[in-house]
Structure 1
Amino acid sequence: MWRSIASNALSLLIVVLLLCGGVILWGKGQYTTAGPLDQAICLRVETGSNMRRVSDELANQGAITNGRIFLAGADYEDKASKLKAGSYLITDGSSMQQIVDQITTSGRSTCGTEVNYRIGILSAELQVRELDPATNRYVEVLAHDPAEGEAPAEYAEVAAQSDVRYRVTLAEGVTSWQVVDALKSAEFLTGEVSNLPAEGSLAPDSYELTRGADRAELIARMELAQAELIAELWPARAEGLPLANEQEALILASIIEKETGVSSEREQVSSVFINRLNQGIRLQTDPTVIYGITNGQGSLGRGLRQSELRRETPYNTYVIDALPPTPIANPGRASIEAALNPANTDFIFFVADGTGGHAFAKTLAEHNRNVAEWRKIEAERANQ
């Protein structure tokens, strides 16, 4: 009898163990396999939240199938106490394990609200954007020019959120003075910039940072990025260029940056200036003359006068025989690459063609025809 009871108990225990093992395997499968999301969502984890609240939110949004398994998995991996506040893009099909990893690892927000301070050629703009999880694209919800006065109340509400991400974006061709002047108006930055960075020394790019970041440290990041970029590109330059060093490459790149906004013709514009330097022909480019007048402190706001084209300054390339002494703006990668690897052409002239690009010429006669055509286009536009 006792032997029969023992046998039955052992059998029952085996069944229970098998069932437990099956449940564990099933739970593990639920935790590691693709989840039910068919469209990405943005999960916001508040400061002071916990894994149970996150589990409930994920369940409400249809991102997980079982909150208990989610919690058990996070606890088993010893991640339940490592939750980090932020806004996280949870992509479609994310497993519970992937979600736990995402919200406990870096704490870096990947969706939600972003403040992007764009410093452009003519103005700076503070943009507030929201990431649309469905399209993974940012949607602008607010734009404000700090130079026009106090930011709207909506911005103050956004700035008060702890998980808002900040970035500063420099357009290609901005001057160092424009950058420093614009950064002074960025209320989310701190500290002072004691010295104006050398022209051409800042890399046009997008710089992610946190609220309260130091302005001088941000400038240092921009300088380091540009120094690393020119150090990377200089060794790969074409042979025989009339450029003595990296600084001269930056000078030429800045002129190219200011002469054309059409990416496909940068190498051709570069070839014109390289050909002129090789043949001892003056560069005769308006942007350098303008820089000599404004010192990079904003736009000229009018056309150049004949007296200004004749006046001898270090930046008047209608008068001086070579490159100006410094860059006239901060060039981006594409213009630096064009300066170091120009197209192989015989062009020594170019003029606007009315489409936003330029008409190039090898001879003065051909150039004069292009100029006449451009004057005709200008006259037609003036009469419209």
Structure 2
Amino acid sequence: MRKAALALLAVAALAFAWFAWGWYGGGPIEKDTAFTVPDGATLTSVAGKLEKEGLVGSRNSFLLRAKILGSGDPVQRGEFAIPAGASAATILGTLQHGQVIRRFVTVPEGLPSISVYEKLMAEPLLTGPIPVPEEGSVLPDTYDFERGESRVKVLARMQAAMTKYLAEAWSKRKSGIAVTTPQQAVTLASIVEKETGVASERRMVAGLYSNRVKQGMPLQADPTIIYPITKGKPLGRRIRQSEIAAVNGYNTYTMSGMPVGPITNPGRQSIAAVLNPAATNALYMVANGKGGHVFASTLAEHNANVQRWFAIRRARGELE
């Protein structure tokens, strides 16, 4: 009897060891693999998907061991990184408690909404259609997303970020500035964004355009001529005289004050510059040949600066 009992115990121990090894021992995955748990998935459906994709040897074996040896916590939705050789226990733990793989899409400062639309539509890991977002409604930044997430949700986060930032920035605005509403701030900031790529100049450019707004002068910002033609994309050629003379809601050469709306999606620094512009008398600016601008408060001074710019361009062979 004693020997029989010992034999039974040995068999039971071996059986348990075999059962445990099937849970804690290395699995069949030969290389690091991404695995996606869809919305509404259950442990049973996930087990079948794991077997189908070769991450576990048997759906039924995985389920049995999971129910006896695993946690009862639900699996999460999303995409997970499963390491090579992962055991069934490691796989279940990752799907229940691991970090979802995050992917990223970047909207740079000054990207117009048509390009935001194209960027999101070109991302193959996102799903569903979106409309072209309202110009100026997206805050330039880097946003994370999950494989299979809808473009509508990603775009909504981008727009919510702009709404939140604009509200915070508006509450801290300097008194006596040229804009009277947050939307006007975005519109003027979009011009500042397009007119200079030099961060240190933004407040000065904002001060210049704020002066023009207050004095009822045309802003004469070239990007406002281009926007109705390309929706903010590069024109790829010189502006024509007929386009300078065009009358529409954006061309600030043929109207005083600001355009009817933003001409791009401005970044935080450009919005902050409009809400706290430099104290300056400047009304004019022209390129300085070094990537920035030189500013002037009188037309005579500006004309002299323009002549210097023309001389630089002639020396470069850009003008005859």
Structure 1 length-normalised TM: 0.58
Q: Where does residue 206 of structure 2 map in the other structure?
A: 270
Asked if 1 retains the 8 angstrom alpha-carbon contact of 2:112 and 2:231, the reply is no
Q: Secondary structure at the match of 1:281?
A: coil
| Letter of the structure 1 residue corresponding to residue 255 of structure 2 | I
Residues paired across the two proteins, number: 243
Choose the corresponding residue for 1:336, options 263, 271, 275: 271
Choose the corresponding residue for 1:107, options 82, 94, 98: 98
Q: Once the 2 structures are TM-superposed, how far is the Cα of residue 46 of structure 1 from its aligned partner?
A: 6.2
Q: Once the 2 structures are TM-superposed, how far is the Cα of residue 45 of structure 1 from its aligned partner?
A: 7.5
Cα pair distance change 1:340/1:87, threshold 3 Å? farther
CA distance in structure 2 between the partners assigned to 1:344 and 1:326 by the alignment: 25
- Where in structure 1 are there 5+ consecutive unaligned residues? 1-43, 49-78, 89-102, 110-162
Q: Is residue 259 from structure 1 mapped to residue 250 from structure 2 by the alignment?
A: no
Cα pair distance change 1:258/1:237, threshold 3 Å? same
Choose the corresponding residue for 1:218, options 137, 154, 165: 154
Asked if 1 retains the 8 angstrom alpha-carbon contact of 2:285 and 2:295, the reply is yes
Choose the corresponding residue for 1:207, options 124, 127, 143: 143
* Pairing of 1:63-212 with structure 2 (within 5 A): 86=81, 107-108=98-99, 165-193=102-130, 195-212=131-148
Identity of aligned residues (%): 44
Q: Secondary structure at the match of 1:244?
A: coil
| Letter of the structure 2 residue corresponding to residue 232 of structure 1 | E
Q: Is residue 305 from structure 1 mapped to residue 305 from structure 2 by the alignment?
A: no
| Letter of the structure 1 residue corresponding to residue 185 of structure 2 | A
- Where in structure 2 are there 5+ consecutive unaligned residues? 1-30, 36-69, 84-93
Q: Where does residue 313 of structure 2 map in the other structure?
A: 378
Q: Once the 2 structures are TM-superposed, how far is the Cα of residue 186 of structure 1 from its aligned partner?
A: 1.2
Q: Secondary structure at the match of 1:189?
A: coil
* Pairing of 1:285-324 with structure 2 (within 5 A): 285-296=221-232, 298-324=233-259
CA distance in structure 2 between the partners assigned to 1:224 and 1:182 by the alignment: 18
CA distance in structure 2 between the partners assigned to 1:46 and 1:258 by the alignment: 43
CA distance in structure 1 between the partners assigned to 2:246 and 2:34 by the alignment: 62
Q: Secondary structure at the match of 2:316?
A: helix
CA distance in structure 2 between the partners assigned to 1:229 and 1:268 by the alignment: 22
How big is each residue's C-alpha offset from its partner over 1:20-75, in whole Å with a ceiling of 9 and x where there is no partner?
A: xxxxxxxxxxxxxxxxxxxxxxxx98679xxxxxxxxxxxxxxxxxxxxxxxxxxx
Q: Once the 2 structures are TM-superposed, how far is the Cα of residue 177 of structure 1 from its aligned partner?
A: 1.0
CA distance in structure 2 between the partners assigned to 1:170 and 1:295 by the alignment: 16
CA distance in structure 1 between the partners assigned to 2:295 and 2:104 by the alignment: 39
Higher relative contact order (CA 8 A, sep 6+): 2
CA distance in structure 1 between the partners assigned to 2:267 and 2:253 by the alignment: 25
| Letter of the structure 2 residue corresponding to residue 287 of structure 1 | P
* Pairing of 1:242-253 with structure 2 (within 5 A): 242-253=178-189
CA distance in structure 2 between the partners assigned to 1:311 and 1:276 by the alignment: 20
CA distance in structure 2 between the partners assigned to 1:303 and 1:177 by the alignment: 21
CA distance in structure 1 between the partners assigned to 2:251 and 2:33 by the alignment: 57
CA distance in structure 2 between the partners assigned to 1:383 and 1:294 by the alignment: 25
CA distance in structure 2 between the partners assigned to 1:104 and 1:218 by the alignment: 23
RMSD: 2.8
CA distance in structure 2 between the partners assigned to 1:215 and 1:201 by the alignment: 15
Q: Secondary structure at the match of 1:359?
A: strand
Q: Where does residue 16 of structure 1 map in the other structure?
A: none
CA distance in structure 2 between the partners assigned to 1:333 and 1:228 by the alignment: 11
| Letter of the structure 2 residue corresponding to residue 180 of structure 1 | Y
Cα pair distance change 1:295/1:46, threshold 3 Å? closer
CA distance in structure 2 between the partners assigned to 1:104 and 1:280 by the alignment: 62
Q: Once the 2 structures are TM-superposed, how far is the Cα of residue 311 of structure 1 from its aligned partner?
A: 1.7
Q: Secondary structure at the match of 1:213?
A: coil
Structure 2 length-normalised TM: 0.70
Q: Is residue 368 from structure 1 mapped to residue 303 from structure 2 by the alignment?
A: yes
CA distance in structure 2 between the partners assigned to 1:336 and 1:329 by the alignment: 12
Q: Once the 2 structures are TM-superposed, how far is the Cα of residue 283 of structure 1 from its aligned partner?
A: 0.5
Q: Once the 2 structures are TM-superposed, how far is the Cα of residue 345 of structure 1 from its aligned partner?
A: 0.7
CA distance in structure 1 between the partners assigned to 2:315 and 2:120 by the alignment: 41
CA distance in structure 2 between the partners assigned to 1:87 and 1:334 by the alignment: 40
